[in-house]
Structure 1
Amino acid sequence: MHAITSTSRESRRRDQHQPQVQSAKQKQQRPLYGLFGSNFHGMDSFYGFCHLSSSLLVMISDATASAPPPLPKGWDRCHVWMERKRRYCRQLPFAEGEKFCGNHRHLILSSSSPELKPDSETSQAATPSSQRKRIPCPIDPSHWIFEDKAAKHIEKCPTNKKRKRQQEEPYFQENINCGGFGSLGYVDDRKLINDTTPSCCRQRAIVPSLLLSPKCNADLATETVEWAHALARRVLEVHQSIFRPQGSSCSSTRDITNLTAAEIHDALPFCDLSRPELDSGIVQAFESHHIKSGGARHVPQIASLLGHLRAMNVLPSRTTRDNDQPSWAKSSNKRPLVIIEMGAGRGMFGLAAASVANASNGGKVNLIMVERTGSRSKADTAFRNIPKDADISYMKVDGVQWSRCSCDLAHVNLPVVLQREEFRDTKIVVIAKHLCGAGTDLALKSLSSIQTRIDACIFATCCHGVCDWNQYVGRDYLRTVMEKTQNVSSEPDHPSQCGEKVSFGSAEFDLLRRWCAACSPGRASNSAPSLDDASDHPVSIPVSSSCTDNQNATSVSSVVKSLNLTCGMQGLGRACQRLIDFGRLEYLRHQIFPDPSSTVNLSHYIAPDVSPQNAILSACRSEVAKDDDGSEQT
């Protein structure tokens, strides 16, 4: 077996500064002086020359170096021979089954000299990464592993260990919140590949990916394009019929195609309540408590959401004061407040809401943050490290009772979370800021088990492009409104399916969510990929470009161009987002807050230039609009 010889650059540098004392070995090297001519005088000149040409010194030392001895019996360390130290490197191999440490592996991989290459016994172990296949971890695809080590890695994977710990929690009940709400209307789309009759295409929409299938003939492609065009017109028509201001009309296809993106955005009520909170000192309060808000764009969003909580009387009004204390804080029978933040992430929204309530509620505030993954700069740090000189006039972190529930929204059983004694007879408010895709649907579904205990909720929706029809809670409501509204245009440019009954199901929803990606500037070239049924609920993930690919006739760019829609891609994408939120709104209205006196709204809470994902779902019971003593809150 060959061993590798390493000449350390560090050792050469030290040798150059050693005292110039001639040894017996140096005297044996005197015949080499002839290499430098007759003007070469003494060892001082020799070392001086080596200062100018260290590479020549390496050549000389290599030429005089002896062959390394054989490896010691049972040697399990690095196989590199260190000439200066006259021993083998004692570092452990960089991976199991390897023969070289990380410091010396480059000598094997980068060298082309036969003397530096290991023999056949070690060649396979020396270059494993170029020969062994790497695959995403089956537990957590965010990191990669060797395929032949997958079974062993799963046993020690940190994500797998964390998942096992979560499953041992009493509030964990697998898939308790999955399944959405309403009929799936499932049809096996694979059967449509072989059935290319026009009647099949009209009775059941074709999934967009079939357009690129080799089995998709020209007639099927034409039917699919017509289906996508009809769906786009129906989306705009339904959007305007639901959200258009009173007095406006939109009865023809020409009216639909002439809609602008601004008109689609303004069809939803706009209520930015951030200014009173900013004027009250939310920025200064964050700085005083050393809280990392996440950036300049996040503070106005949190401020507006706090304003909406005040408008629902979840938080005390700052206009009614008595010695700087809100009137409701004076009530002796005030119920403790429990705030549950779903998909909390860092937990900044929940931290702000709980601290603002605590500033006037005498410490009767509990915050529960539900989040499946960890993150840096969390609210937990702010709770643990409270500055002594913090300004508590606007928000008071000290005194908030908080806990973090590490669990996926698909598996969290909220009645178990709230079964503690201190959570009985409390005012329960559920909040979420930018809960991605199907995470919103999972959170809404989880509320059904505590429906009678919830006083109010507010959800800022986000990432509609990664929604999932199987988890969507508004299936029945969205299908009803989409199938009820029909385009009866008589224009010759839009014949075919305009006057016939249409259907809405998983394929139509899949196209809607893909078009949603065009709403966000800078992401117009992206679209959501298909969701893996076996995976957890989706989060923000990289998406493909099929949404706006001009070669795909069902992409949002192709549809907008073919129909000559004035609203453009962003207008159509925003209309799709609002229809998805409309189904969620109806779920809240009929399943969580069925009392006719309850208030359920869908509105914009911040300007689109601050955040294009600026819609909120808000709901509260009529009792919340009053103080606990029965008096109206002003």
Structure 2
Amino acid sequence: MVATTVPRCVTRAPPPVGEAEDREESAASPDRCQFWLPNKRRLCANTPLPFSRFCGNHDPDAGSRRIPCPIDPSHSVSEDNLQSHVKKCPFRKQALALESQPYYSKGINGSPDDDYVDSSAKRNTILQLSAKDFHTLLEKVKSIHSAISVVLLDSYVIPDACRAWLKQQHLDRKLPYQEKHAMQQASIVGNIEVTGILQKPNESTEPFYQEIEGRDHFGRDESQVPAVVEFGAGRGYLTQMLTDCYGLSKVCLIERKSYKLKADRSLRQSQNIILERLRIDIEDLNLKEVNLLKGLQYIAIGKHLCGPATDLTISCCLNGQSEQNKETHSSIPNLQGLALATCCHHLCQWKHYANKKFLLSLGITKEEFHAMTWFTSWAVDADHSSEHADMLFNATNIGTLEEKQSDFVVGSVDDAIRSMPALDRARLGFMCKEIIDTGRLFWLREHGMEAQLVKYVPLRISPENHLLIAKCCG
């Protein structure tokens, strides 16, 4: 285990206007740690140590170094007390309960043999290049983007069922999220319908609620109605829209973090829906062992699957699918199609990327891949609010980028980056995003799926607007 030092007490700049009053009010409670948490605008709520103003986490006089807890790194522990803490860590019981589940298989969808490279390390690697090598790397990205002929179709589709649902939610004041998020979810659902992954119930068929064995409340054969598995589900709003508009009754939500489960409560109130939420990292999920999905077809969905979560989701789905094709075992879930909105490409990792073979065939090394992922952050840094944003940030319009790179041969890489206009940096970022997602697209096609990569919303709604949509053949 590699120990990482966690700062105990940091000297901070004077608080901004308004924060000083908050700090004085909080300090009126001497029975709490006096360490100020700027993000929460309050003092730490822990009880201070005897004869100290601070708790054990923030006491500057603590003798031993603090390191992240190996069970749950969201909190830290004194290195001297590590062994005793692991035995009584409040998260230990939760971790043991997860490990006992049949669907838990450590690292089944990942590649544990390689190291994680954070954004700081990626940036430092780029800044250590010579100006000439940096210029060569940009030229290589541009050349590869042109060679693979990336063409992303605009597919902003809001189906009638979702329009009616959104209107009703607005009238009932039950829409707890911003309109731009609702539009993204509706377009994902619309692309699922347009691609033919899911058929909407016949509008002429009125829902009925007679209990007929083997039939859902639309009178459909339950064996022909797929389940839905949402990866990186968060609060579950995408699934809520899909189930409400298309009458799906079996739902599995996958999320490693804890959220306020507002959509879950709404879904559970329906007598027609069977819902299971699994708090697990996608990397460790053996989908074919989830009881709810055994013997069923399912649709995999995800909105803004950050960085490697997209690759892990693809691996998770295709692992079960390939085993089913080999064994033809009825208990293994059958993937019907998937719709994954990619996001946060700057977090992508070589160790997890689904189609390394594609990158290597283009001459992209592991180090260059990580550099490209760092460049992708430039695509979301610029202003995308304009109605003409899609035209301005079109990655194929790279004439200005080529003209100015002749200035990069001298000076530092940092100077070269600073001299690049924001529009050129954004275009380069989009090129890198498209190369990464194109590799994922080809990987799905190699596994026999009819797959597309589309822009499912305009840039003014979200610069993270790539959707991988794929339907299983046969």
- TM-score, normalisation: structure 2: 0.70
TM-superposed CA distance for 1:241, in Å, is 3.4
**Aligned runs of 1:283-294 on 2, under 5 Å?**
283-285=167-169, 288=172, 290=174, 292=176, 294=177
Alpha-carbon distance change, 321 to 127 in structure 1, aligned in 2, over 3 angstroms:
closer
Q: Which amino acid aligns with 1:345?
A: G
Identify the residue that residue 313 of structure 1 maps to in structure 2: 196
Identity fraction in percent: 23
TM-superposed CA distance for 1:212, in Å, is 6.2
Contact kept, 8 Å, 1:605 with 1:616, in 2: the verdict is yes
**Aligned runs of 1:520-535 on 2, under 5 Å?**
520-521=380-381
- What SS does structure 1 have at the residue aligned with 2:463? coil
**Aligned runs of 1:139-158 on 2, under 5 Å?**
139=70, 140-158=72-90
- 2:345 aligned with 1:464: yes
TM-superposed CA distance for 1:279, in Å, is 3.0
Identify the residue that residue 370 of structure 1 maps to in structure 2: 254
Contact kept, 8 Å, 1:337 with 1:428, in 2: the verdict is yes
Identify the residue that residue 138 of structure 1 maps to in structure 2: 69
Query: Match for 1:354 among 224, 229, 243?
Result: 243
Identify the residue that residue 449 of structure 1 maps to in structure 2: 319
**Aligned runs of 1:270-349 on 2, under 5 Å?**
270-274=154-158, 276-285=160-169, 288=172, 290=174, 292=176, 294-317=177-200, 321-324=203-206, 332=221, 335-349=224-238
Which protein has the larger Cα radius of gyration, Structure 1 or Structure 2? Answer: 1
1: CA distance, partners of 2:454 / 2:433: 12
2: CA distance, partners of 1:412 / 1:354: 23
Q: How many residues align?
A: 380
- What SS does structure 2 have at the residue aligned with 1:321? coil
Q: CA offsets per residue over residues 37-72 of structure 1, 9 Å max, x none? A: xxxxxxxxxxxxxxxxxxxxxxxxxxxxxxxxxxxx
- 2:371 aligned with 1:515: no
- 2:433 aligned with 1:577: yes
**Aligned runs of 1:227-626 on 2, under 5 Å?**
227-243=133-149, 267-274=151-158, 276-285=160-169, 288=172, 290=174, 292=176, 294-317=177-200, 321-324=203-206, 332=221, 335-358=224-247, 365-384=249-268, 386=269, 397-418=270-291, 423-424=294-295, 426-451=296-321, 452=325, 453-480=334-361, 482-483=362-363, 504-521=364-381, 553-554=412-413, 558-559=416-417, 561=419, 567-591=423-447, 594=448, 598-623=449-474
- What SS does structure 1 have at the residue aligned with 2:74? coil
Contact kept, 8 Å, 1:603 with 1:616, in 2: the verdict is yes
Alpha-carbon distance change, 580 to 130 in structure 1, aligned in 2, over 3 angstroms:
same
TM-superposed CA distance for 1:578, in Å, is 0.9
1: CA distance, partners of 2:241 / 2:271: 12
Q: CA offsets per residue over residues 410-450 of structure 1, 9 Å max, x none? A: 111011115x5x731x3311111111111111111112222
1: CA distance, partners of 2:239 / 2:450: 22
Contact kept, 8 Å, 1:232 with 1:559, in 2: the verdict is no
Structure 2: gaps (5+ residues): 1-30, 32-45, 209-215, 326-333, 385-409
RMSD (CA atoms): 3.8
Structure 1: gaps (5+ residues): 1-77, 79-92, 110-124, 190-205, 214-220, 245-266, 359-363, 387-396, 484-503, 525-550, 624-634
2: CA distance, partners of 1:126 / 1:338: 47
Alpha-carbon distance change, 569 to 312 in structure 1, aligned in 2, over 3 angstroms:
same
Contact kept, 8 Å, 1:291 with 1:382, in 2: the verdict is no
Contact kept, 8 Å, 2:105 with 2:285, in 1: the verdict is yes
- TM-score, normalisation: structure 1: 0.53
Alpha-carbon distance change, 277 to 578 in structure 1, aligned in 2, over 3 angstroms:
farther
Q: Which amino acid aligns with 1:477?
A: F
